[in-house]
Amino acid sequence: QGDLDIKLKEFAITEEHPWRGYHIRDIKIPEDTVVVSILRRGISIIPKGSTLVQKGDLVTVCEKRI
């Protein structure tokens, strides 16, 4: 069937990151991108819309390849 059309990306939330301090539901992300997990102080979180993104979080998103 070939390669999957999705990819995972992981990035750290710094003091300057535009997502810091926002709830997932309030972040403008592409329609074909999903926040799948947040690693916070060694604890894995499956985020909901109400999850607040904090400095130090390690965020994983799944996005469709173009």
Please give the helix or strand (H or E) that residue 61 lies within, else none.
strand 58-64
**C-beta atoms surrounding 42 within 10 Å:** 5
What phi, psi does 25 have (nearest 5°)? Answer: -65, -20
**pTM metric for this prediction:** 0.86
**Rounded to whole angstroms, how far apart are CA atoms 33 and 40?**
20
The mean predicted confidence, pLDDT, of the chain is 93
Q: Which two tokens stand for residue 28?
A: 């403008």
Which DSSP category does 51 fall into? P
Q: What is the mean pLDDT of residues 20-29?
A: 96
**Rounded to whole angstroms, how far apart are CA atoms 53 and 50?**
9
